Structure 1
Amino acid sequence: MKPPLRMALAASSACTLLAGCSMLNTTPAIPDDWTPRGSVSALVAFAPGGGSDRSARVVAESLNDLDADFNVNVQNREGGSGAVGWATFLAEQGNGNALLVAESALNTLPLVYDVPFTYRDFTPLVMFAEDSRMVVADADAPYETCADLVEAGRDAPVRTGSSGRTGADALVTAEFERNGGQFSVVPYGSTGEVLTALMGGQIEVAPASAASVRPYLESGDFKALCTLTPERYDDPLMGGVPTALEQGLDAEVTIWRGVLAPDGISRVQRDYWVDAILDAMDSDLYRDYIEDDLLLPADLAGEEFEDYLDDYDAQMQEVFR
Structure 2
Amino acid sequence: MKSPLRVPLVLTSVAMLVSGCSLMNAKPPVPDDWTPRGSVSALVAFAPGGGSDRSARVIAQGLNELHAGFDVNVENKEGGSGAVGWASFLSEKGNGNALLVAETALNTLPLAYDVPFTYRDFTPLVMFAQDSRMVVARKDAPYDTCADLVEASRKKPVKTGSSGKTGADSLVIAEFKKNGGRFSVVPYGSTGEVLTGLLGGQIDVAPASAAAAKPYLQSGDFKALCTLTDKRYKDPVLGKVPTAKEQGLDAQVTVWRGVLAPGGIAEPQRRYWIKAINKAMKSRTYRDYIKNDLLIPADLSGQKFADYLDAYDRQMKEVYR
Same fold (TM over 0.5): yes
SS in 1 for 2:280: helix
Post-superposition Cα deviations, 1:85-137, rounded to whole Å, max 9, x if no partner, equal: 10011111111110000001100000000000000000000000110000011
Return the alpha-carbon distance in structure 2 between the equivalents of residues 92 and 193 of structure 1: 32
Tell me, yes or no, if structure 1 residue 132 matches structure 2 residue 94: no
Shift of 1:26: 3.4
User: Counterpart of 2:177?
Assistant: 177
Structural mapping, 1:259-274, within 5 Å? 259-274=259-274
- For the 8 Å contact 1:159–1:186, the answer to whether it is kept is yes
Percent identity, please.
76
Tell me, yes or no, if structure 1 residue 240 matches structure 2 residue 240: yes
SS in 2 for 1:154: helix
Post-superposition Cα deviations, 1:146-169, rounded to whole Å, max 9, x if no partner, equal: 111110111121111111001110
Post-superposition Cα deviations, 1:162-185, rounded to whole Å, max 9, x if no partner, equal: 110011100000000000001111
Return the alpha-carbon distance in structure 2 between the equivalents of residues 151 and 171 of structure 1: 19
Post-superposition Cα deviations, 1:201-246, rounded to whole Å, max 9, x if no partner, equal: 1111110100011111111111111000011000000000000001
Shift of 1:283: 1.2
User: Counterpart of 2:21?
Assistant: none
Report the AA paired with residue 275 of structure 1. Answer: K
SS in 2 for 1:207: strand
Structural mapping, 1:206-245, within 5 Å? 206-245=206-245
- How many residues are paired up? 297
Return the alpha-carbon distance in structure 1 between the equivalents of residues 94 and 193 of structure 2: 36
User: Counterpart of 1:292?
Assistant: 292
Return the alpha-carbon distance in structure 2 between the equivalents of residues 32 and 145 of structure 1: 56
SS in 1 for 2:259: strand
User: Counterpart of 1:81?
Assistant: 81
User: Counterpart of 1:101?
Assistant: 101
Report the AA paired with residue 182 of structure 1. Answer: R
Tell me, yes or no, if structure 1 residue 42 matches structure 2 residue 74: no
User: Counterpart of 2:14?
Assistant: none
User: Counterpart of 1:58?
Assistant: 58
Report the AA paired with residue 202 of structure 1. Answer: Q
Tell me, yes or no, if structure 1 residue 197 matches structure 2 residue 182: no
Post-superposition Cα deviations, 1:39-74, rounded to whole Å, max 9, x if no partner, equal: 100011111111111100100001001111001011
Return the alpha-carbon distance in structure 2 between the equivalents of residues 51 and 252 of structure 1: 19
User: Counterpart of 1:155?
Assistant: 155
User: Counterpart of 1:249?
Assistant: 249
SS in 1 for 2:289: helix
Return the alpha-carbon distance in structure 2 between the equivalents of residues 240 and 201 of structure 1: 25
- For the 8 Å contact 1:49–1:192, the answer to whether it is kept is no
User: Counterpart of 2:301?
Assistant: 301
Shift of 1:141: 1.2
- For the 8 Å contact 1:138–1:222, the answer to whether it is kept is yes
Shift of 1:27: 2.5
Structural mapping, 1:17-32, within 5 Å? 26-32=26-32
SS in 2 for 1:28: coil
Report the AA paired with residue 61 of structure 2. Answer: E
Return the alpha-carbon distance in structure 2 between the equivalents of residues 114 and 157 of structure 1: 29
Report the AA paired with residue 137 of structure 1. Answer: A
Return the alpha-carbon distance in structure 1 between the equivalents of residues 248 and 257 of structure 2: 28
Which piece of structure 1 moves more, 279-288 or 113-122?
279-288
Query: Could you list the runs of 4 or more consecutive aligned residues of structure 1 that deviate by over 3 angstroms after TM superposition?
Result: none
SS in 1 for 2:294: coil
Return the alpha-carbon distance in structure 1 between the equivalents of residues 97 and 191 of structure 2: 30
Return the alpha-carbon distance in structure 2 between the equivalents of residues 280 and 227 of structure 1: 30
Q: Quick check: which has more Rg, 1 or 2?
A: 2
Post-superposition Cα deviations, 1:277-310, rounded to whole Å, max 9, x if no partner, equal: 0000011111111111111111100000000000
User: Counterpart of 1:318?
Assistant: 318
TM-score by length of 2: 0.91
Report the AA paired with residue 50 of structure 1. Answer: G
